[in-house]
Amino acid sequence: MNYDVIIIGSGPAGLTAAIYASRDNLKTLVVGGAKWGGQLMLTTQVENYPGFPEGLLGPDLMERMKKQAERFGTEVRLEDVTRVDFGKHPFTVWGNQETQGYQGGAVIVAAGADTVWLGLPNEQRLIGRGVSSCAPCDAFFFKDKKVVVVGGGDTAMEEAQTLAKFASEVTIVHRRDSFRASKIMQDRALSLPNVKVYWNSAVIDVLGENHVTGVKLRRTVGEVGEVRELAIDGVFVAIGHSPNTKIFEGQLELDEKGYVKKFQGNQGDRGDQGKSGFQTMTSVAGVFVAGDVHDYHFRQAITAAGFGCMAAMETSRWLTEKS
């Protein structure tokens, strides 16, 4: 099956790219994954996406994006990509429901990144009910409440700072006696009067039936194994993200964290992408990237959508210049 552009991923980046590509009269396929929609499918109320003053549920926002893309002719297949071949043109993408593979003149990689969770007994059950991985998304819901941030890197310090603007008390729980975060980020977080730290402690479970009511903590040094409960209203997991790039190993250049690298400007040895100044081109000419699969700083629905728009517009231009 031949397409002008194949989009791998169906979160805000992938579906926005699909809307722009299909409206530009490109034959567009989205291979969206069996679990489609990205991180917003795990989000309850979304109040920071423009155009929805009352807010809406994450899955509802993604369903609207999907229907909008389909309205303009995008074909959406909810199957997982099993392998790709970017070594020759046209590119080939295999899903687990299509043995022959899909061929495209260009590809947009918008596979996203998954939160690294703690793997606790009640953690997944309470996502969106007090368990979160995004303070900029959810901090507003914890005004004058007590929350825990789990982690010790820069992300955890950023989460704590954001939450401190709303929560009455922010407790950073870290399993060691020192943070991995940069000194400046530590200083910023720990200088806030409503931020404190539980050192040498690990969260071993989340408490609550319909919403978070507390956490269980276990000492990692000293009285090792000692368990206590802490009454709180929310848990923010900030131990990292894992980009969905396993299938692109050996096909695209990835950075040391496994995120897709972009190549823009002065890359003449990589074909025509550097000469044309594309901003979302990968190491392979004709393969573009959008969203959390390359962006590990912002990780917001609106920024992912913006990258999807950019990637689709550049894909269209590249296809026009190539023809």
Give the per-residue pLDDT at 146: 98
Residue 81 and residue 182 in one domain = no
- Residue 243 burial by CB count (10 A; 0-12/13-18/19+): exposed, middle or buried? buried
If one counts every other C-beta atom within 10 angstroms of the C-beta of residue 3, the result is 22
Q: Quick one: pLDDT band at residue 46, thresholds 50, 70, 90? A: confident
Residue 138 and residue 231 in one domain = yes
Give the per-residue pLDDT at 275: 42
Residue 82 and residue 171 in one domain = no
Give the per-residue pLDDT at 41: 85
9-18, 262-271, 304-313, range with the lowest pLDDT:
262-271
Residue 149 and residue 253 in one domain = no
User: In the predicted model, what is the mean pLDDT of residues 45-72?
Assistant: 93
Residue 223 and residue 314 in one domain = no
Residue 121 and residue 233 in one domain = yes
Q: Quick one: pLDDT band at residue 263, thresholds 50, 70, 90? A: confident
Which amino acid is residue 98, in one-letter code?
E
User: In the predicted model, what is the mean pLDDT of residues 224-233?
Assistant: 91
Q: What is the share, in percent, of the chain residues with pLDDT greater than 70?
A: 95
Residue 197 and residue 247 in one domain = no
260 close to 282: Cβ distance less than 8 angstroms: yes
DSSP secondary structure letters along 257-306: TSPBPP--SS-GGGTTHHHHT-SSB-SSTTEEE-GGGT--S---HHHHHH
- CATH number for 160: 3.50.50.60
Q: Is the pLDDT of residue 187 over 70?
A: yes
Task: Give the DSSP H or E segment for 66.
Answer: helix 58-71
Residue 184 and residue 274 in one domain = no
Give the per-residue pLDDT at 266: 40
Q: Is the pLDDT of residue 267 over 60?
A: no
Domain boundary among 214, 237, 260: 237
83-87, 133-137, 158-162, range with the lowest pLDDT:
133-137
Q: Between the CA of residue 168 and those of 37, 97, 146, 148, 323, what are the distances in Å?
A: 33, 50, 6, 11, 59
Q: Between the CA of residue 218 and those of 201, 228, 229, what are the distances in Å?
A: 6, 7, 9
Q: Is the pLDDT of residue 11 over 70?
A: yes
Describe the crossing of helices 58-71 and 12-23 by its angle, rounded to 10 degrees: 20
Residue 284 and residue 271 in one domain = yes
Q: Is the pLDDT of residue 208 over 50?
A: yes
The number of distinct structural domains making up the chain is 2
* DSSP code of residue 247: G
Q: Quick one: pLDDT band at residue 270, thresholds 50, 70, 90? A: very low
Give the per-residue pLDDT at 209: 95
Q: Quick one: pLDDT band at residue 238, thresholds 50, 70, 90? A: very high
* DSSP code of residue 252: B
Give the per-residue pLDDT at 268: 39
Question: What is the domain range of residue 290?
Answer: 2-114+241-322
**Enzyme catalytic residues:** 134, 137-138
Q: Is the pLDDT of residue 153 over 50?
A: yes
Residue 159 and residue 210 in one domain = yes
Domain boundary among 237, 253, 276: 237
Residue 129 and residue 229 in one domain = yes
Closest CA to 114 of 7, 41, 60, 64: 41
pTM: 0.82
Local structure of 7: helix, strand or coil: strand
Local structure of 43: helix, strand or coil: coil
Q: Is the pLDDT of residue 64 over 80?
A: yes
Q: Quick one: pLDDT band at residue 259, thresholds 50, 70, 90? A: very high
Q: What is the share, in percent, of the chain residues with pLDDT greater than 90?
A: 81
Give the per-residue pLDDT at 274: 44
Residue 136 and residue 280 in one domain = no
User: In the predicted model, what is the mean pLDDT of residues 43-60?
Assistant: 89
Domain boundary among 237, 261, 286: 237
User: In the predicted model, what is the mean pLDDT of residues 30-51?
Assistant: 87
